[in-house]
Structure 1
Amino acid sequence: MSANQCSQQRPPPVVLVFLMLLSLISFSKSDELQPLLEFKSALQKSNTNVFSSWTQGNSACNFTGIICNSDGLVTEINLSQQNLRGILPFDSICTLQSLEKLSLSSNFLYGTITQDLKNCTSLQHLDLGYNSFSGEVPDLSSLGQLNFLNLTKSGFSGPFPWKSLGNLTSLTLLSLGDNVFEPSPFPVEVLKLEKLYWLYLSNCSLEGLIPEGLGNLTQLTNIELSWNQLSGEIPTDILKLKNLSQLDLYYNLLTGKLPVGLRNLTSLVNFDVGHNNLHGNISEVRFLTGLAVLHLFENQFTGEVPEEIGEFKNLVKLSLYRNKFTGSLPQNLGSWSDFYYIDVSENFLSGPIPPNMCQNGKMVKLLVLQNSFTGGIPENYANCSSLIRIRVANNSLTGVVPAGIWGLPNLSILDVSMNSFEGPVASSIDKAKSLAQLFLSNNRFSGELPLTISETSALVSMQLSSNQFSGQIPATIGGLKNLNSLHLDGNKFSGSIPDSLGSCVSLTDINLSGNSLSGNIPAGLGSLLTLNSLNLSNNNLSGEIPTSLSSPKLSLLDLSNNQLIGQIPEALSIEVFSDSFDGNPGLCSPNFKHFRPCSSGSRTTSHHLRTLMSCFIAGALILLVSLTCFLYVKLRHNNLDRPLKSNSWDMKPYRVIGFVENEITDAIKKENLIGKGGSGNVYKVVLSDGKELAVKHIWMSDPCDQKNCQSSSAMLRKRSFRSAEYEAEVATLSSLRHVNVVKLYCSITSEDSNLLVYEYLPNGSLWDQLHACRKIEIGWKVRYEIALGAARGLEYLHHGYDRPVIHRDVKSSNILLGGDWRPRIADFGLAKIVHPGGGDWTHVVAGTLGYIAPECAYAYKINEKCDVYSFGVVLMELVTGKRPIEQEFGESRDIVCWVYSQMNSKESLLYLLDTTISEDLKEDAIKVLRIAIHCTARLPSLRPSMRMVVQMLEDAEPCKLTNFIVKKECQDSSDERRKNISRFRALELES
């Protein structure tokens, strides 16, 4: 072939170049496809349809969530809120050399992120917030082009690579909050980010001073540094930030005064410095006319609330509670906008309540309790149907409560106690279908209670003490099935106690003392399974004491100063009730010496019974001695336990009992074993009369033989600890009386072991019911009752005893369930009674892994907030059905971390719920989950008391009208929702 012929067949150079370009483009597109398919493969467990278009035959640029440039190269991956689950393959993602934006927030991504990010050098936008990652944040130094970085609530922990921020000088948004990073000073590297307009570092363990220099970041519009340990004064150079619209510094340790010149922040819309140690006046605030939110709660501010605040046209949220403000509130307050709430409680404010805060019908909370306000409740609020809480207690208010207020349809709490109100309760109260708590005590209310009060079906607590109410207690009161506490003491009620009161099946506390009630005590009161306290003293009651009241569930009984007759029931003739019957000359008792003896027939019968009991006990003791050798031989060969040394039993009763030692000791055998604990075994004992008991057997030292024997010092240490544990349990339980605390009947001790005899609860522990095969047996309504009952038991320990009792091992396996599913707090082996000025009696870290509060794992100094944290974990178990530690949570993560990592939206909260909870009750379950989140706050001071937990749970009762604020939270965007929750949290805990 000639050279000419060859030249004719060879393609022109232009064609060759075009073919080469086509080849390169084809190769590059293929190169883009593979990393995305690997991305899809890694997240194949996701419950999403987003990957339906991600197929081999499709172009990567046609994949859902993918954006390409004009060259067909991937520049953006946008898959936020797509239910993605799995571990991100960053080694594949970072091979996309043109990738500028990676947005994967609000998913369920987990696992660690290694240094593979170093290859993502083109990234400008990285959003991994609201996920469940673990481990440390990798070095970010290589991401020099990054202008957007969001890792908020992403699950990362450990030390954050603050120094790498020094290379990210293009950042405009930096959001790292709500992660459990190691404590560190405020990162000075942030001061180099001159383009920054958004800074969110709340709740990420910052401590020390806020540095000067922050004011040089003149583009900043948003600074949020809340929920940290920052101290010192607010730096004055922040006042240079003319564009700042939000400054959130709440829940820190800041001191000093509000900086002079705060008035310069004329763009400020949201100013929150609540829960610090700030003092002085707030005169600078009067110039911030654009404010919508002003939160100064829990500081030491003094002086008057500036009159100019009343002219703020945009102000909708005002929280000044727990300060030292004086003077009156501006009377125009809230007149100009859709005012949402006010909380100025616990100050020294006076004058009238501003009348126009609900002018536009949006206000939900009026909280002014514990001040010196005068006048009445303004008439305008009678038309404010949006109101959920009215709390004006402990002021100097007078007059009549406006009639419309009694019937507000969304009102949950009406608290006007400790004022000088007068007049009747209006019959329109039947329209208050959401009213749960009615507090009218210590006023001058009068007249009869309207019959319509029995139609307030949501009512849980009715406190009407120390007024001038008269007439009869409405006979229809039995319709209040949710009523838990009824205080009508110190009034002028007459007539008989309604028999229908025995139909209020939730009652735990009744106080009708100091009235003019007559007639018999209704026998039906004794059938109230939850009744714990009954005070009917100082009335004109007659007849005999019903034997139905003899149940040992009562912790307080006062029937003194009436006209009762007959014999005091035997079961009530115990030392704890020795003063409960004084002032009834017609009563007699064979046991109480300060009462006349009963008739001879009664005495003879009683004498015969005591003689028979003495003979029975003597016979039992003889039988016990004769069986000693047999029992020793039998138990010595038992592989389960070593033998009981029964030659020196000492039995101490703490309640009225009808059994002797040998009925218990004979039953301590393998076939009766029902459980094992860290210090001994638990046995079921059935007495001859059919009564069932549970016996906890605690060895004072371990079995020791020639082949396997601990050192004597180790044995002494263990025996000393078990002795302390046993004494703690006995000392605590022997004096406790509450329907939600397990009953301890007696202790039986010997040389080397101790027996504690309890009531037997047939449904086992909450752990068994939640995490065993019978889980489906308890639906949400039962779970809620278990949660509320257990909370009331802990509330009694913390607040209802003469000294606080800290349980220190609250967990689902220590919440036992009776045949009616009523919960009892059990296992007080680690309990501690708080003595005034006393220290801890042990240096053993108490609790169970997964339930221990963070501070209790490293500090021996504990308080009631440790129990609150553990109870929060139990609530999470109830809501999610998960164990405190599950493999799916990730390495070194527990249920608390897992729940916190999902708190980005209502949908993600729904994902957390146990699948057995029915659809119509899921909203109610979410309410309880929110309470659990309060209880497990990282800082103990942020956790509510158990008293407040009970109130919050009562508000979360299934099927009640959903709280307006909660509804609003669910509609907010994720960032705004987070801020609302934080503030709502602070309000709820204190109000």
Structure 2
Amino acid sequence: MPSAFSPASSMFAQVSSKWSLLVVVFVVFLVLVSPAKSDEHQILMNLKSKIEKSDTGVFSSWTEANSVCKFNGIVCDSNGLVAEINLPEQQLLGVVPFDSICGLQALQKINLGTNFLYGTITEGLKSCTRLQVLDLGNNSFSGEVPDLSMLHELNFLNLNSSGISGKFPWKSLENLTNLEFLSLGDNPFDPSPFPMEVLKLEKLYWLYLTNCSVTGQIPEDIGNLTQLQNLELSDNELSGEIPAGIVKLNKLWQLELYNNSLSGKLPVGFGNLTNLMNFDVSQNRLEGDLSELRFLNQLSSLHLFENQFSGEIPEEFGEFKHLTELSLYTNRLTGTLPQKLGSWADFNYVDVSENLLTGPIPPDMCKTGAMTDLLVLQNNFNGTVPETYANCKSLIRFRVNNNSISGTIPPGIWSLPNLSIIDLSTNQFEGPVTDDIGNAKSLALLLLTNNRFSGELPSKISEASSLVSIQLSLNQFSGQIPLDIGKLKKLSSLYLHDNMFSGPLPYSIGSCVSLTDINFAQNSLSGKIPDSLGSLPSLNSLNLSNNKFSGEIPISLTYPKLSLLDLSNNQLAGPIPEPLNIKAFIDSFTGNPGLCSKTDEYFKSCSSGSGRSHHVSTFVWCLIAVTMVLLVLLASYFVVKLKQNNLKRSLKQNSWDMKSFRVLSFSEKEIIDAVKPENLIGKGGSGNVYKVVLNSGKELAVKHIWPSNSGFQGNYRSSTAMLSKRSSRSSEYDAEVATLSAVRHVNVVKLYCSITSEDSNLLVYEYLPNGSLWDRLHTCHKIEMDWVVRYAIAVGAAKGLEYLHHGFDRPVIHRDVKSSNILLDLEWKPRIADFGLAKIVQAGEAGDQTHVIAGTHGYIAPEYAYTCKINEKSDVYSFGVVLMELVTGKRPIVPEFGDSKDIVNWVYSKMDSRDSMLTVVDPNISEILKEDALKVLRIAIHCTNKLPAFRPSMRVVVQMLEEAEPCSVTNIVVKKVGESSPSFSRHYNST
């Protein structure tokens, strides 16, 4: 008979069975999870050990005692497993162990962006199959990117400016159909056509492929990516027209296509992109009118400069309430500038220069007081300067030169507190410069040439203490030159010629210690020439011709190294100082009947009294010269002894600390043992350089920094500057080495590691077997290089320097750019070397200053020589000299240039005609390519402008050089250059 309790018993049994199952599952879970957590702890501690440096303290919580979920920058999921690694902008320096961290089985996000990470992105990344976010941008990785096709769940990929190179695995993008954000720009990939695989990523809202060697045309099907909000394809080699399909992208708020070779007109229907806020297609070959843009009333930033647009600027631009940035310069635009422009928005800047625009300047572009730049130069504007701009206290640059504007300058404009440049040249302005100019404390350039300004130059101008250049020539100024002109300590050029100035030249002018160029010709100045002019240490050009100066020529004028002197047509008398009585200045003294000379037959012979004076001055001059020679010889003796002592001393066998910046195949012992006299290949101002041949046969260059200074100046061959003394283990030294280690570019010499001890510092670099460009151009090791070879070296070196200036958050300034610091590898590819004097310029600063003139005579920018102030433009000047070397084949300083002249002055003297310029081109360059060489010579002339503000950036220099590619490169067989010629030819024909 069945029991009455059977059903209950059965039910109890079922419940017990279920609980037992849950307990088993829980136990299994604990068994699986606990080791996983233990493994994750070990993985993250391994990651910490691979990061060599972080000053942010981010790893303070990464201890054995803490749970991984309590680590700074780590986010865990609900199961306590690591889901995210978030360590951006933490100053991390080291190699990422991707093979290890992809063992974190729940990992969905890796954000290590904006650090100093290096090494390669290894194949181990493939194992991060659950990854949704990968951000490695703004780092210093090297090598190629591995196949990414296994990362199916990825929706955010940022490798922008990460240092990767070579072939990118575009094919693998086909599998990443969840991608919404793709940023691969600013990496030196191998050139490839626009990756069609991208067109399959229909969820993309962000596509950044700027500056990553994309070629060919933008495909019509770009319009299929309808979710795109940001599309950036700038700084590539794209050609053809902007495809019509782009007008389908009506969610776009930013479209940037600048610096390509796009042509044709804006596509019909472009006005449908009504959400567009930022549009930049500058530096292309686009044409047609701007009518399609009149509907884009959300625009805040519009850049169309350096194209071939024509027609009128749409009147609707004046109604755009958000427009704050407008750059239309260097086009063919006509008509007037919309008069309501700026009436609604907080305009930042307007640049419509170099067009064919007419009519008045709109009055309200600084209505809200935010404008920094008003640039309308080289047009046909007329009318007057609107009085409203006298209240534009934010204005930094006011340039209206080369127009037909007239009237007086409204009161208040002269004294605008932030104004740096006021350029009113070549107009029809009249009236005076008013006293309030003394309040213009930021004014650097005052350019008023070729107008009808009149009246006296106010004495208050001497209180505008930032003035660097005053150019008032070809006006109607009168009266005396202000007596306090000497207060202008930064003044570099003073052009007052072709006016009606009278009275004496103030003695205080000798206190303008930065003056390099003075031109007071065609005035009515009188009295004696002040001998204080001879105290100007950097004076290079002095023109006092066609005045009424009297008395003797001051002997002090023989002290500056003048390249131009003109005292003609005055009332001077007495002997011509012997050091000035040279052939170069033969016309400098004509029109002065009272002058005499003992040696020059063109002047009357000096009397005996004058002869005695001449002998005395000659004796003084010789005494000074002998003293200077003795001082130089004495200093040279001590320097040589110091170098000999450092060469002979062997390295102490102390404890050494090696910091590697790349994957190394050698030990510190191999390097240290090889630093001995028989391996010496060069001496520099900071130490000696040795060639090291490893057991594997690999060649390296080792710089032994002298104990007395731990700077890095001096390449494999030579150097001329020394840094101030400091401890070899100072934090400054470590900081500079860290900077060098982050520099990774195909045209910059590789730094492998740093080896330091208490009294020595060794820097281990790659060895470049073909020496320096200087060797190949100027020494007994020179070779015959035709223009194709030289051009390719110029472009490569420019790209290396561009990387130093623009590849970091803060520019790296070289400070000793010269042909001996451009080294050549086995395939003759150039590398920028010896940037150890580089300093990091703090963001937002105008420049750097030091009390040591670092650099090499003939390459030093003029402003550096007399102010010790530098920025990137100082490097640009030096690079311009290198370009002149490549074009002319001449050294920067040779006797044929004449006394106190260098290659820059010599080239400038040949600029009067094309035929004259052709004479400076190296005769070893074939006739068919001399025209191409002249293109680069013109770029060199831009680079060596005396005013740093007028020199191009290195980024622009690279662009100009690429546009100057020899027209007939493909039709020329490159001449053999040693045994390496075949590989050299392949490399540069593909560039």
TM-score normalised by L of structure 2: 0.67
For residue 449 of structure 1, report the CA deviation from its aligned partner.
0.9
Match of 1:264 among 262, 272, 288: 272
User: What is the Cα-based RMSD across aligned positions, in Å?
Assistant: 4.8
State the alpha-carbon separation in 2 of the partners of residues 575 and 932 from structure 1.
34
Match of 1:774 among 705, 720, 725: 725
> Gaps spanning 5+ residues in structure 1: where?
1-9, 613-654, 678-763, 778-808, 811-825, 833-840, 847-854, 887-891, 918-923, 957-979
Partner residue in 2 for 1:787: none
Q: Is 1:107 the equivalent of 2:81?
A: no
CA distances 1:612-666 after superposition (whole Å, capped 9, x unpaired): 9xxxxxxxxxxxxxxxxxxxxxxxxxxxxxxxxxxxxxxxxxx999999xx99xx
Match of 1:876 among 813, 822, 830: 813
Q: Is 1:132 the equivalent of 2:140?
A: yes
Match of 1:566 among 569, 574, 585: 574
State the alpha-carbon separation in 1 of the partners of residues 834 and 296 from structure 2.
39
State the alpha-carbon separation in 2 of the partners of residues 196 and 942 from structure 1.
45
For residue 766 of structure 1, report the CA deviation from its aligned partner.
6.6
CA distances 1:86-128 after superposition (whole Å, capped 9, x unpaired): 1001111100111111111111111111211111111111000
Q: Is 1:225 the equivalent of 2:233?
A: yes
- The 1:413/1:858 distance shift into structure 2, 3 A limit, reads closer
Match of 2:32 among 17, 24, 27: 24
Paired residues for 1:104-503 under 5 Å: 104-503=112-511
The answer to whether the 8 Å contact 2:287/2:308 transfers is yes
State the alpha-carbon separation in 2 of the partners of residues 577 and 871 from structure 1.
42
Q: What letter matches 1:258 in structure 2? A: L
- Give the secondary-structure state (helix, strand or coil) at the position aligned to 1:158: coil
CA distances 1:754-787 after superposition (whole Å, capped 9, x unpaired): xxxxxxxxxx99746766673799xxxxxxxxxx
Q: Is 1:859 the equivalent of 2:810?
A: no
- The 1:776/1:383 distance shift into structure 2, 3 A limit, reads farther
The answer to whether the 8 Å contact 1:275/1:297 transfers is yes
Partner residue in 2 for 1:79: 87
- The 1:605/1:469 distance shift into structure 2, 3 A limit, reads closer
Q: What letter matches 1:441 in structure 2? A: T
State the alpha-carbon separation in 2 of the partners of residues 942 and 113 from structure 1.
42
- Give the secondary-structure state (helix, strand or coil) at the position aligned to 2:110: strand
- The 1:863/1:113 distance shift into structure 2, 3 A limit, reads closer
- Give the secondary-structure state (helix, strand or coil) at the position aligned to 2:271: helix
Partner residue in 2 for 1:97: 105
Percent identity at matched positions? 55
- The 1:943/1:772 distance shift into structure 2, 3 A limit, reads farther
State the alpha-carbon separation in 1 of the partners of residues 803 and 108 from structure 2.
44
The answer to whether the 8 Å contact 2:815/2:835 transfers is no
For residue 551 of structure 1, report the CA deviation from its aligned partner.
2.9
State the alpha-carbon separation in 2 of the partners of residues 943 and 102 from structure 1.
48
For residue 927 of structure 1, report the CA deviation from its aligned partner.
8.6
- The 1:486/1:870 distance shift into structure 2, 3 A limit, reads farther
The answer to whether the 8 Å contact 1:185/1:208 transfers is yes
State the alpha-carbon separation in 2 of the partners of residues 863 and 210 from structure 1.
27
- The 1:865/1:925 distance shift into structure 2, 3 A limit, reads same
Partner residue in 2 for 1:928: 871
Q: Kindly tell me the number of residue pairs found equivalent between the two proteins.
A: 743
CA distances 1:254-302 after superposition (whole Å, capped 9, x unpaired): 1111111111111111111100111111111111111111111001111
- The 1:360/1:145 distance shift into structure 2, 3 A limit, reads same
> Gaps spanning 5+ residues in structure 2: where?
1-16, 644-710, 729-747, 750-771, 824-828, 854-866, 884-934, 961-991
The answer to whether the 8 Å contact 1:397/1:421 transfers is yes
The answer to whether the 8 Å contact 2:309/2:331 transfers is yes
Q: What letter matches 2:413 in structure 1? A: I
State the alpha-carbon separation in 1 of the partners of residues 844 and 416 from structure 2.
33
- The 1:942/1:428 distance shift into structure 2, 3 A limit, reads farther
The answer to whether the 8 Å contact 1:418/1:443 transfers is yes
- The 1:930/1:109 distance shift into structure 2, 3 A limit, reads farther
Q: What letter matches 1:877 in structure 2? A: H
CA distances 1:147-173 after superposition (whole Å, capped 9, x unpaired): 100001111111111111111111101
- The 1:56/1:926 distance shift into structure 2, 3 A limit, reads farther
Paired residues for 1:585-734 under 5 Å: 585-600=593-608, 602=610
- Give the secondary-structure state (helix, strand or coil) at the position aligned to 1:406: coil
- The 1:858/1:189 distance shift into structure 2, 3 A limit, reads farther
Paired residues for 1:544-555 under 5 Å: 544-551=552-559, 553-555=561-563
For residue 454 of structure 1, report the CA deviation from its aligned partner.
0.2
CA distances 1:416-469 after superposition (whole Å, capped 9, x unpaired): 011110111011111110000000110111111111100000000000001111
CA distances 1:844-892 after superposition (whole Å, capped 9, x unpaired): 499xxxxxxxx97872677997998699699723499xx9899xxxxx9
- The 1:829/1:76 distance shift into structure 2, 3 A limit, reads closer
CA distances 1:816-845 after superposition (whole Å, capped 9, x unpaired): xxxxxxxxxx9988779xxxxxxxx96449
For residue 552 of structure 1, report the CA deviation from its aligned partner.
6.0
CA distances 1:481-528 after superposition (whole Å, capped 9, x unpaired): 110000011111110000000111110000011111110000010111
Q: What letter matches 1:520 in structure 2? A: K
Partner residue in 1 for 2:752: none
- The 1:981/1:389 distance shift into structure 2, 3 A limit, reads farther
Q: What letter matches 1:290 in structure 2? A: Q
State the alpha-carbon separation in 2 of the partners of residues 365 and 986 from structure 1.
24
The answer to whether the 8 Å contact 2:712/2:834 transfers is no
CA distances 1:664-689 after superposition (whole Å, capped 9, x unpaired): 9xx99x98995999xxxxxxxxxxxx
For residue 46 of structure 1, report the CA deviation from its aligned partner.
2.1
The answer to whether the 8 Å contact 1:934/1:944 transfers is no
The answer to whether the 8 Å contact 1:333/1:357 transfers is yes
The answer to whether the 8 Å contact 2:713/2:834 transfers is no
For residue 925 of structure 1, report the CA deviation from its aligned partner.
12
TM-score normalised by L of structure 1: 0.67
For residue 48 of structure 1, report the CA deviation from its aligned partner.
2.6
For residue 402 of structure 1, report the CA deviation from its aligned partner.
1.0
State the alpha-carbon separation in 2 of the partners of residues 439 and 318 from structure 1.
24
Partner residue in 1 for 2:909: none
CA distances 1:916-972 after superposition (whole Å, capped 9, x unpaired): 99xxxxxx99993598699999x999998675676775799xxxxxxxxxxxxxxxx
Q: What letter matches 1:774 in structure 2? A: K
- The 1:935/1:134 distance shift into structure 2, 3 A limit, reads farther
For residue 240 of structure 1, report the CA deviation from its aligned partner.
0.9
- The 1:913/1:567 distance shift into structure 2, 3 A limit, reads closer
Larger relative contact order (C-alpha < 8 A, sep ≥ 6)?
Answer: 1
Q: Using the TM superposition, name which of 545-554 and 91-100 deviates more.
A: 545-554
State the alpha-carbon separation in 1 of the partners of residues 141 and 839 from structure 2.
11
Q: What letter matches 1:333 in structure 2? A: L
State the alpha-carbon separation in 1 of the partners of residues 126 and 812 from structure 2.
41
- The 1:166/1:845 distance shift into structure 2, 3 A limit, reads farther
- Give the secondary-structure state (helix, strand or coil) at the position aligned to 2:231: strand
Q: What letter matches 1:534 in structure 2? A: L
For residue 898 of structure 1, report the CA deviation from its aligned partner.
11
- Give the secondary-structure state (helix, strand or coil) at the position aligned to 2:508: helix
